[in-house]
Amino acid sequence: MKKSLIILASTLLINGCQSEHWGYSGDESPKHWGDLHKNYSLCSSGKNQSPINLTNLIESDLAAIEFNYGTLVSDIVNNGHTVQANYAAGSSITLNGHSFDLKQFHFHTPSENHINGKSYPMEAHLVHADKAGNLAVVAVMFEQGDANSAMADLWKQIPKKAGDKHSLSSKVNASNLLPENKDYYRFNGSLTTPPCTEGVLWLVMKNSVSVSKQQIETFSNVIHHANNRPIQAINARPVLQ
What is the pLDDT, as a whole number, of residue 169? 79
| 166 pLDDT higher than 80 | yes
CA dihedral 112, 118, 123, 128 (to 10 degrees): -70
pTM of the full structure: 0.92
pLDDT at 1: 41
Element (H, E) at 94: strand 92-95
Name which of 140, 113, 112, 141 is nearest 227 in CA terms. 112
pLDDT digits (tens, 9 = 90+) for 85-128: 999 999 999 999 999 999 999 999 999 999 999 999 999 999 99
Cβ atoms of residues 18 and 191 within 8 Å: no
| pLDDT tops 80 at residue 48 | yes
CA atoms of 170 and 28, how far apart (whole Å): 35
DSSP H or E segment with residue 8: helix 3-15
Residues with catalytic annotation? 81
- C-alpha dihedral over 238, 107, 13, 167, to 10 degrees? -150
pLDDT, tens only, 176-210: 999 999 999 999 999 999 999 999 999 999 999 99
26: Cβ contacts below 8 Å, ≥ 6 apart: none
What is the model's pLDDT at position 14? 44
The H or E element containing residue 143 is: strand 135-144
Domains and CATH numbers, the chain: 3-223 (3.10.200.10)
Which comes out higher in pLDDT, residue 222 or 14?
222
Long-range residue pairs from 126-131, CB within 8 A, at least 24 positions apart, any chain: 126/102, 126/174, 126/177, 127/13, 127/14, 127/102, 127/103, 128/92, 128/93, 128/100, 128/101, 128/102, 128/103, 129/10, 129/14, 129/100, 129/101, 129/103, 130/98, 130/99, 130/100, 130/101
